[in-house]
Chains A and B, each alone.
Chain A
Amino acid sequence: DAGVTQSPTHLIKTRGQQVTLRCSPKSGHDTVSWYQQALGQGPQFIFQYYEEEERQRGNFPDRFSGHQFPNYSSELNVNALLLGDSALYLCASSLGLATTDTQYFGPGTRLTVL
């Protein structure tokens, strides 16, 4: 049973560039959530996708956008990168939108903005 996978593992970009991160959910899951984890802090919710639509969004600017595909995989896009965007980006998958669904996390993508 495949767990949550993310790519790439590491990424280095410069300020102003754009980046796309990818996530494949755990087998059988249809909901994907994205989190940003700055060094030494807990993850912060960015947004959640279900049925190819953004269902819920955290306190992140419009530079952060996403997409979910028919196979439930998802992308996170960040435009006009800032130094402060350097973080570990985590993808979590779950089944449906019910509050009883446990979210399982992938290994993350480490983004460094220079």
Chain B
Amino acid sequence: GESVGLHLPTLSVQEGDNSIINCAYSNSASDYFIWYKQESGKGPQFIIDIRSNMDKRQGQRVTVLLNKTVKHLSLQIAATQPGDSAVYFCASREYGNKLVFGAGTILRVKS
């Protein structure tokens, strides 16, 4: 079936450095993508989204890049902070309003 997956299960970065989390998706018909952050014991928290008619979108300290040619999505976090430590999921919206999630990337920020 269709899926959204991540290249790296764990990413460790030094506080203050930039982080890049990658995601590959398989359904070329997906037209909307979302990044969620999930802290331990909590539900996924919306970070940023992007539609397929865009290739870049910026938020506060975060940027999402979309490359439809290779079906790749990335999340860039500037000046990573200890509070950014969490599991990050990319998701694609399919078949109406269903979200398909990847397995997640653990981000660990070292002080």
- A-B pairs with beta carbons under 8 A, tally: 69
Confirm or deny: A105 has a beta carbon within 8 angstroms of a beta carbon on chain B: yes
Interface 1/0 per residue, A86-114 and B, CB below 8 Å = 00001010100111111111111000000
Interface 1/0 per residue, B51-65 and A, CB below 8 Å = 100000000000000
Q: How far is the CA of A37 from the CA of B47 in the complex (A)?
A: 19
Q: How far is the CA of A100 from the CA of B31 in the complex (A)?
A: 10
Are the CB atoms of B98 and A42 closer together than 8 Å?
A: no
Are the CB atoms of A41 and B104 closer together than 8 Å?
A: yes
What residues of chain A lie closer than 8 Å to B97, measured between beta carbons? 31, 33, 48, 55-56, 94, 97-99, 101, 103
Interface 1/0 per residue, B69-97 and A, CB below 8 Å = 00000000000000000000101010111
Q: Among A44, A56, A104, A108, which residue has its beta carbon within 8 angstroms of that of B96? A: A56
Report, nearest first, the 3 A-B pairs whose CB atoms are least far apart: A42-B101, A105-B43, A105-B44
A contact residues vs B (CB 8 Å cutoff) = 4, 31, 33, 35, 40-45, 48, 55-56, 58, 90, 92, 94, 97-108
Add 9 more A-B contacts to A40-B103, A102-B46 (CB < 8 A).
Answer: A35-B99, A45-B100, A55-B96, A55-B97, A97-B97, A103-B99, A105-B44, A107-B41, A107-B42
